[in-house]
Amino acid sequence: MHSTREETTAAAEWRAHWPLTLAALIGYSTIGLQSYGISPFVTHLESEFGWSRADVMIGISLSNAAGIVLNMIIGLIIDRFGSRRVALLGLVVKTGTFALLGAATGTLLNWAALWLMLAVGVVLVQSTVWTRAVASRFDKARGLALAVALSGTPITAMLAPPLASWLIGAYGWRMGFAGVGAIWLAVTLPIVFLFFREKPASPAATTAAAAETASPAEMAGLTFAQGIRTRAFARLLLSFACFSFYSMTIATNLVPLLTETGIAATEAASIAAIMGLVGIVARLSVGVLLDRFPGHLIGTGTLLMPIVGCAILLMDAPGILLLSVAVAMFGAAIGAEIDVALYLATRHFGLKAFGALFSAIIVGGAVAATLGPFIGGWLHDLYGSYDILLMMIMAVMGIGALAMLTMGRPPRRWAAE
CATH fold, domain 13-197+212-410, is Growth Hormone; Chain: A; (1.20.1250)
Q: What is the pLDDT of residue 168?
A: 93
| pLDDT the model gives residue 416 | 41
Binned at pLDDT 50, 70 and 90, residue 203 comes out as: very low
At 72, the pLDDT band (50, 70, 90 cuts) reads low
Measured between alpha carbons, how far is residue 51 from residues 31, 99, 168, 272 in Å? 26, 20, 18, 24
Gap between the Cα atoms of 351 and 355, Å rounded: 8
pLDDT at residue 85 in the model: 86
Least confident of 208-212, 233-237, 294-298, 327-331: 208-212
Which tens digit of pLDDT belongs to each residue from 220-275?
A: 777 788 888 888 898 999 999 999 899 888 888 888 888 888 787 778 878 888 88
What band does 187 get if pLDDT is binned at 50, 70 and 90?
Answer: very high
More confident residue, 363 or 405: 405
Q: What are the structural domain ranges in the chain?
A: 13-197+212-410
Specify the pLDDT at position 217: 44
Contact 218, 365 (CB under 8 A): no
Q: How many Å apart are CA 372 and CA 369, to the nearest integer?
A: 5
Residue 98 confidence (pLDDT): 95
- What is the sign of the dihedral through the CA atoms of 281, 284, 287 and 288? negative
Residue 6 has pLDDT above 70, yes or no: no
| Spatial distance between the Cα atoms of 76 and 250, rounded to a whole number of angstroms | 30
Q: How confident is the model at residue 213 (pLDDT cuts 50, 70, 90)?
A: very low
Whether the CB-CB separation of 314 and 99 falls below 8 Å is answered with: no
Residues 393, 159, 286, 340: what is their CA dihedral angle, to the nearest 10 degrees?
A: 50
Per-residue model confidence (pLDDT) at position 49 = 93
| CA gap 37, 287 in Å, rounded | 26
| CA atoms 133, 138, 142, 144: torsion sign | negative
Greater confidence, 5 or 231? 231
pLDDT for 389: 92
Of 162-176, 314-328, 334-348, the least confident? 334-348
Whole-structure pTM value: 0.66
Give me the pLDDT at residue 155, please: 83
Inter-residue contact 86 to 391 (CB < 8 Å): no
Instruction: Say if residue 39's pLDDT is above 90.
Output: no
Mean pLDDT value across residues 296-307: 90
Q: What is the pLDDT of residue 415?
A: 47
pLDDT tens figures, 113-139? 999 899 888 888 987 788 777 877 777
pLDDT digits (tens, 9 = 90+) for 74-118: 767 777 777 888 899 999 999 999 999 999 998 989 999 999 899
Q: Which residues contact 143 (CB under 8 A, 6 or more apart)?
A: 286, 287, 288, 289, 290, 291, 295, 339, 343
Please name every residue paired with 86 in a beta bridge, in sequence order, or none if there are none. Answer: none
Contact 20, 134 (CB under 8 A): yes
